[in-house]
Each structure stands twice: as C-alpha cells, then as structure tokens.
Structure 1
Amino acid sequence: MEQWKVKTGLDIYEGYGQTETVLVCGTFKGMEIKPGSMGKASPSYDVQIVDADGNTLLPNQEGDIGIRIAPQRPFYLFTQYTGDPEKTASSQRGDFYLTGDRATRDEDGYFWFVGRSDDVISSSGYRIGPFEIESALLEHPAVVESAVVSSPDPIRGEVVKAFVVLSPTYTGHDQEALTKELQEHVKKVTAPYKYPRKIEFVEELPKTVSGKIRRNELRNKEWGKA
C-alpha cells in the first residue's frame, strides 16, 4: 500500500464483507488509514470479536467475527441458507451470526483479519493465521504468490507449510538455500514461531473460478499423506 501511495498518490480504503452480509466493516472517508486493517464496523452492524461461548472479547484478543442478531436482526444481513437449516443454525452462536473468519480488534475499533476459522493452524498450542504468513512471504522478491496450510507433524501436531510460486528470476536458484532464506525472512517479519517449517515450490496454486486460492484442496493433500 505504501508503494502504491508513493507511485499514484492515491489511498486504498480496505474493507471486509461476504455475500451474506455485504460490507461488514471498512475504512471510510475521514478515517485514519491503518494499512492491513479491515477498518471499523459499518454503521448498520454491531460487529464484535467473540469466543467459543459467544462472549465478546477484549481488544487485541483473537476470536471469531460476529455480527449481533439479537434482539433485532440487521436489515442488510441474509435471513437463512435456503434448504439448509443445519448450516443456518451452525452459523449462529448466542446473539451473533458468525462470518466464519477470525480476527482481532484494536483499541481504536479497527479490525485485523487473521484467517478463515478452518484455515487457522494450531501448532504446539499456538494459533497461526495463514494470511499473516502469506503477507510476509509476499514481501520477499522471490515470491509471486503463496498459500499457507497446516501439515501433520508427529511432535507439534501441525506445522505451517507454504506452497510458493516463484518469480521467474528465482526459478533457477538452489531450492534448499532459498527455503532457508524464506524461512529466515518470515521469522524477521512475524513472530519467529510462525515461520513455515515446510515449503514446497509449485508452478501455480489451485483456485476457484473467481480467483480465490483453494486452501482446502492443498490442506487435504497434506493430510492425505498422514
């Protein structure tokens, strides 16, 4: 975002939403721009970070993104998954509709994306969101794009694995040396325990028609080896 601002003079206003909700939160005109943040809750929604029991969490605590639906359901929120009452019920926890994503909210009310609930990696008791690792990898000039998933490990239960598409200028590099270089890079950008202990270089990543990375396909591939 900083490079974009320098080259174009234009600001990027980030936000977050889904088909069921439209815009949940965003960085609106007049707000301070915090690069990487999803912004604050939209005026039509009461958005909270909630725990496994549906309780709201304190600032900077990671949890599930919840939109308050009681005592009154927001007008802009979908009503149900047609023909799938079980899915509709599972998307609710107490007074909240769950988007299926995890995040934190800072003291200023800005939300920070962690990852899809089923994409979060649990390694030796640590919860690691793939988005942060992918963002760190993307800062290295060798990386065009990447996808981070859990991979089975006999000691830690799960470890972070990154599937990496290399820039053409790096495809001829020694892969073992490049793996170590990328691991050290992630350690410097994020908390050291979050680095990908496994890296696999691939020509392309599996994606949906709309261009979203199919992490579940990569994750199933990993756990199918266990």
Structure 2
Amino acid sequence: MGITSTSDGAGITTVTVDYPPVNAIPSAGWFELADTVLAAGKDPDTHVVILRSEGRGFNAGVDIKEMQATEGFDALIAANHGCAAAFSAVYDCEVPVVVAVNGFCVGGGIGLVGNADVIVASDDAVFGLPEVDRGALGAATHLSRLVPQHLMRTLYYTAQNVTAQQLHHFGSVYKVVPRAELDAAALEVAGLIAAKDTRVIRRAKEAINRIDPVDVKTAYRIEQGFTFELNLAGVADEHRDEFVATGKPRANK
C-alpha cells in the first residue's frame, strides 16, 4: 500500500499508487508521489515513466477524512502543497510520463493526468472535478488541458464527469482499451518512447515544457488562493463535513 516504483530494466519505470479503497491520497502520500516521480526521471536508466494505480479507480483526490479529522489548517495546507508538488513533479519529470487511468479520475487525479505527457484509459474511465461540491477550487488549469474551454467551464461549474471516449474524441486521451488491457496499452506506448535516444527525448520534454503557452504551476497556485479564501470564510468546512457525514454534496441552502 502507498507509492511503489519498479523498473523493467529496459528503460521503463512504473510508479504505482495504492491507497484503498478509492486512492484518496493522504497529505504525506502526495509528497511521496512527487519525490518518486522526480527520482525516476533523474535516473539515467529511466527513459519513460508509467504512472498507474491499483484498485477501483485511478485517483479520488485528497483524503478529505484526514483533513476534517485534523485541528486547524495544517492538513489543508499540507494537502494543497502536496498536490502542487505532485502535479509539478509529473510536469517536471525529466522524461515523458504516461498515465494509465482506470475507473475514476477526479479531483487531484485531474492535476496528475492534465500534466502528463501521454494518457491511456480504460473504457470505464471517467474524469471530473467535484471541487465545487466540496467547497473548494483547483485543477481547472489541468482540466483545460484535456477539454475545450467552454466544456471545461461547464464541467467545473456542474461537477459533472467526462468519459474516456469523449477525451479520446478531443485528442487528449491517446487510446481507450478494456480495463484488462490497460497496463499492456501503457507499456506499448511507453516502449515506443523508451526505444528512442533518451538524450533526445529528455531535451524534447524540456523543450515542450518551455514552449507551453500556460504556466501550469502559477495558474494552479492562483486557484489554490481562492480555495484558501473559501476555507477562511468557513464555507469549505461546511461542504467537507457534509461529504464526510453523508458521502453526498451539501445541498444549497
């Protein structure tokens, strides 16, 4: 359980997330994920990283129960910094990152996937940001890398999901396969990258990041500032308490 990393000896390093039951990652786990991805990219024997998860879904975001069980704002601040670190690690990893998305990818999962280089998904995968239903904001920066602008706004305001098939239509998901074939699909595209001269691919990753029209790190931190504002106003606690108690969004009152 937690974050593990394995290498196949042929240039592919696989980082696996395993936090049952839904891969809601605790604060420390986000930092560990960041460190693991960055370390893999620094290893000269790694040509490409696969980021995958065990269990029911790829990622359910931050561990809200941990946040609500902690006095003060320490857990909230740690979760925000941890997410920023993990999202940045995927983006800054010195080699391309292929994400293999199974089941649900929501909240913080969108930050990981939106900053990845290649996305493969199972045919039952869905992607979304339930942030407004939790009294928070964030990862619109990354969702906007997956869908067109107006659809991003609609999904963000309504907390609806988008399917892997829809993202494949938009070109943000490279391939959609049955869940049983997901790991093989990730390995296939990772193998194509790993076979290239890693010196060239590493410079290609850096070059693409440098010409990126969006500063993903600054944009996400701006979003987080509004999340902190909602927390200071007490709004976020109302929504998180309701979710922890009932598992449902707080009704508008």
The answer to whether the superposition gives a TM-score over 0.5 is no
TM-score norm. by structure 2 comes to 0.24
Greater fraction of residues in strand: 1
Computing the radius of gyration over CA atoms, which structure comes out larger, 1 or 2?
Answer: 1
TM-score norm. by structure 1 comes to 0.26
